Amino acid sequence: MANKGFQLEEKMGVRYYIIPAFEEKGSVIHGFSTRYGGVSSEPFDSLNLGFHTGDDYHAVLANRYRFCQALGFSPEKLVAGKQVHKDNIQNVDFLDIGKGALDQDSAIPETDALITNKPGIGLIAFFADCVPLMFLDPVKKVIGIAHAGWKGTVLRIGQKTVAKMKEVYGCQPKNILAAIGPSIGPCHYEVDKPVIEQFQKQFSNWAQFMKVKSNGKAQLNLWEANRLQLLEAGISDVKITVAEICTYCNPELLFSYRYSEGKTGRIAALIMLVD
Ligand SMILES: [Zn+2]
């Protein structure tokens, strides 16, 4: 069985999750933020980390400082992509430091996943129901992060991120630790026909993560869909941690796009190699 359990931490008033399996390796700073510890007002209260949400720019900037400082570094070290629900994966180098860190315009265009082997670069991605994926190869010292909503999951962005880590850095999938973060759970993710058809077309094992109901809709389990992809990519089951925390079930703790009908903030997943 895959590992269960993310652990809630609090530093400088900021509440965030860590993955014990990642923490044990001692080679990364990482965290998944919650709504706690920021300065934004409703409906972005309070730790909204996404600039593209309609929130006040200065509030989001202050929130990014708070989150990064709680983790022990400065937000100038961040790199973010402009997430578009596609499968472009950017290999990040020192020259990219600061892209999308303090504003949205400078983020790397059309990019939903980032990898690097350079220390001191904070790979960050933003979520409000979509699935955060995080990777760490403690042998080659390579990290990755991906944004996998239903479209990214159909495009197999998790598998492709692992493939890119292999291709660029020679990572062996069996060494890679992976985490599937807080996002909308099977309890609250009803999808309709066009989505069902995409999954049925792309995955022969779709019945393992999607239950079609008598009303023609389906309950989709994106956690399991992504877990199965990572297993197929060669990551070992014991090295996958699944948070099993549903954003919709926890609207006070996490931002949920569906729960708030679109008007909400973003939580972030962040990972950085340390020297
Ligand atoms: Zn739920």
Q: What does pLDDT average to over the chain? A: 97
CA of 8 from ligand 1 middle (Å) equals 18
In Å, what is the CA distance from 89 to each residue of 144, 223, 225? Answer: 9, 20, 20
With 50 as the cut, is the pLDDT of residue 258 above it?
A: yes
Ligand 1 centroid from CA 249, angstroms: 4
Residue 209 contacts residue 200 (beta carbons within 8 Å): no
CA of 65 to the centre of ligand 1 (A): 30
185 CA from centroid of ligand 1 (Å) = 5
Q: How far is the CA of 172 from the centre of ligand 1 (A)?
A: 34
Ligand 1 centroid distance, CA of 264 (Å):
17
pLDDT at 275: 83
Report the pLDDT averaged over residues 1-12.
80
Please tell me the distance between residue 183's alpha carbon and the centre of ligand 1 in angstroms.
Answer: 9
**Gap between the Cα atoms of 206 and 193, Å rounded:** 14
What's the CA-to-centroid distance between 91 and ligand 1, angstroms?
33
Q: How confident is the model at residue 4 (pLDDT cuts 50, 70, 90)?
A: low
3-state secondary structure at position 214: coil
Share of the chain above pLDDT 70, in %: 99
Domains and CATH numbers, the chain: 3-185+234-273 (3.60.140.10)
Which residue reads 């009803």 in tokens? 190
pTM above 0.85, yes or no: yes
Please count the residues of the chain.
Answer: 275
Of 77, 203, 79, the residue nearest 145 (C-alpha): 79
According to the model, what pLDDT value does residue 1 have? 44
Q: How many secondary structure helices (H) and strands (E) does the chain include?
A: 6, 16
Query: Taking 70 as the threshold, does the pLDDT of residue 84 lie above it?
Result: yes
The alpha carbon of 251 and the centre of ligand 1 are apart by a number of angstroms equal to: 10
